[in-house]
């Protein structure tokens, strides 16, 4: 049976989270982090070491960022922006 997109996203995000934790540990630091993806159906998949309060605060910050956007960037815009 072929894995679902959600299963694939969970697996990939789990691998990314493990790598982030490992790299931080190798450097002797502990930093709250959040790895997140949004599936085409709108489901959010995340891996994190952030507390509930930290996630709520982050959510409020994301609302502020979304409110500040004039138009949502296209996928290509985000890639180009990340390379700047």
| Residue-wise pLDDT tens digits, 56-77 | 999 999 899 888 887 666 665 6
Q: Is the pLDDT of residue 43 over 70?
A: yes
Domain ranges in the chain are 5-83
Of the candidates 33, 40, 38, the one whose C-alpha atom is nearest the C-alpha of residue 16 is: 33
> How far is residue 48's CA from residue 22's CA, in Å, rounded to a whole number?
13
14: pLDDT strictly greater than 90: yes
Other beta carbons within 10 Å of 28 = 6
Distances (CA, A) of 60 to 3, 16, 64: 33, 24, 6
The C-alpha atoms of residue 27 and residue 46 are separated, in whole angstroms, by 24
């Amino acid at each position: 049976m072929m894995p679902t997109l959600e299963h694939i996203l969970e697996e990939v995000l789990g691998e990314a989270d493990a790598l982030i934790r490992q790299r931080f540990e190798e450097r002797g630091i502990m930093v709250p982090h959040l790895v997140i993806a949004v599936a085409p159906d709108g489901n959010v998949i995340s891996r994190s070491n952030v507390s509930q309060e930290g996630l709520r605060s982050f959510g409020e910050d994301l609302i502020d960022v979304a409110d500040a956007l004039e138009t949502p960037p296209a996928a290509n815009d985000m890639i180009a922006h990340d390379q700047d």
